[in-house]
Amino acid sequence: MVDRITVRGITAHAHHGVYDWERERGQRFAVDVVLELDTAPAAAGDDLAKTVNYAELSQGLHAILTGEPVDLLETLAQRLADACLANPLVDAVEITVHKPDAELGVPFDDVTVAIRRARS
């Protein structure tokens, strides 16, 4: 059985994108993260050290989101996934990056890139 910890809607104003105006003005981005890990040891001992502290994780992901700009959402998603997998307790992660204010030239609700990465 796979246990999951999910944080949805980590939001920030950031400067990712391929166009100059995206880098200059920036826009709103959001991230959803689903971690796969065994939470039984933490539950058995009521011990935070045996699970992922999702407050610390969220702060680290927010720092990446607002950090060095990249052209592609795919690159941003990979950086976020790598940060999650740096925690040895995390077996796999699913990252969804939202770019709801992208300019597509047509009405739309959201643009997302979702990736899943597992420890190899």
| pLDDT recorded at residue 43 | 97
Contacts of 104 (CB under 8 A, 6+ apart): 111
Q: What is the mean pLDDT of residues 4-13?
A: 98
**Domain of residue 42, residue span:** 3-118
Q: Which of 99, 113, 114, 115 is catalytic?
A: 99
Looking at residue 41, which CATH number applies to its domain? Answer: 3.30.1130.10
| % of the chain at pLDDT higher than 90 | 98
Mark whether 99 is an active-site residue: yes
- Span 65-91, pLDDT tens digits: 999 999 999 999 999 999 999 999 999
Given a cut of 70, whether residue 1 has pLDDT beyond it is no
- Span 20-67, pLDDT tens digits: 999 999 999 999 999 999 999 999 999 999 999 999 999 999 999 999
Q: What's this model's pTM, rounded to 2 decimal places?
A: 0.95
CA nearest neighbour of 13 among 65, 90, 68, 87: 65
Residue 55 CA: distances (Å) to CA of 11, 20, 120: 14, 33, 26
Structural domain tally of the chain? Answer: 1
